[in-house]
Amino acid sequence: MKKALLLVDLQNDFCLNGALAVHDGDAVIDIANQAMQLFHQRGWPIIATLDWHPANHKSFATNSGAQPGEIGTLNGLTQVWWPIHCVQNTSGASLHPRLEQQYISKHIYKGQDPEIDSYSAFFDNGKRSATELNQWLDSENIQHLTILGLATDYCVKFTVLDALELGYQADVIADGCRGVNLAADDSEKAFHEMASKGAKIVQLHDL
């Protein structure tokens, strides 16, 4: 079966010294490079998602009169207020410099609408609009995704849950994910939730 590798938000702002640095986030870059090597050898496509916000995005605490890490409401949806991160065309929004980008055949941008946040690579948080990912996978005849990236408890989790709802099989490479963990066990809970909805939690060495 033809599979695709989906690399979620491997951007500088989620890595060491980034604006929304995820603990040990850099560690997943080596895992991503090894997974890409395998997929490339098998002739399977590699997709990278990018969190891609305009500077006036309302998920940024400063743009909503709130403090980073607090919870509020945006457009009728529960919203964590984030520090300014992944602003379009800034170095923080660039893919990590050690990521072997030559293997990426498709980029998916999300989070451009300032009025709504967008964790999943498929839809915004209100499922009001879709990215081109589902259509692209369909056009490539891909029904199986192998997923890793940042952050386990946000963009990875919601991407995996949407993939399952859309009927894809989903393997999540656990050692290729790191979480924000606003609560200490958020990542652990996210893995359990993904597994309970049908995702297979695997390690790089299982590929």
| Binding partner selected for residue 44 from Zn ion, ligand VGL, none, CB under the kind-specific 5 to 8 Å limit | none
Beta strands in the chain (DSSP E): 3-8, 46-51, 71-74, 77-80, 106-110, 144-150, 169-178, 200-202
| Nearest residue (CB) to Zn ion, 38 versus 182 | 182
Task: Indicate the DSSP class of residue 103.
Answer: G
**Residue 134 Cβ, how far from Zn ion at the closest point, in Å?**
20
- C-beta of residue 177 within 8 angstroms of C-beta of residue 38: no
Q: Please give the Cα distance from 102 to 60 (Å, whole number).
A: 31
Active-site residue, from 13, 26, 153, 155: 155
**Residue 42 Cβ, how far from ligand VGL at the closest point, in Å?**
27
Hey, CA dihedral for 172, 109, 36, 139, is it positive or negative?
positive
Task: Indicate the DSSP class of residue 105.
Answer: -
**What DSSP string describes 27-69?**
HHHHHHHHHHHHHHHHT--EEEEEE-B-TT-TTBGGGTT--TT
**Residue 58 Cβ, how far from ligand VGL at the closest point, in Å?**
12
User: Does residue 155 carry a catalytic annotation?
Assistant: yes
Q: Please give the Cα distance from 166 to 186 (Å, whole number).
A: 24
List of residues contacting ligand VGL (CB under 6 A): 9, 51, 82, 119, 150-151, 154-155
**Residue 92 Cβ, how far from ligand VGL at the closest point, in Å?**
12
| Nearest residue (CB) to ligand VGL, 74 versus 151 | 151
| Nearest residue (CB) to ligand VGL, 64 versus 143 | 64
**Residue 2 Cβ, how far from ligand VGL at the closest point, in Å?**
26
| Nearest residue (CB) to Zn ion, 26 versus 51 | 51
Active-site residue, from 9, 13, 26, 117: 9
| Nearest residue (CB) to ligand VGL, 36 versus 150 | 150
| Chain position carrying tokens 């379009």 | 88
Which structure tokens are listed for 121?
């690579």
By CB under 5 A, which span of 44-52, 130-138, 163-171, 177-185 interacts with Zn ion? 44-52
| Binding partner selected for residue 9 from Zn ion, ligand VGL, none, CB under the kind-specific 5 to 8 Å limit | ligand VGL
Contact status: 51 vs Zn ion (CB under 5 A): yes
Beta bridge partners of residue 57, listed in sequence order: none
Q: Which residues are catalytic?
A: 9, 110, 155
Interface residues with Zn ion (CB under 5 A) are: 51
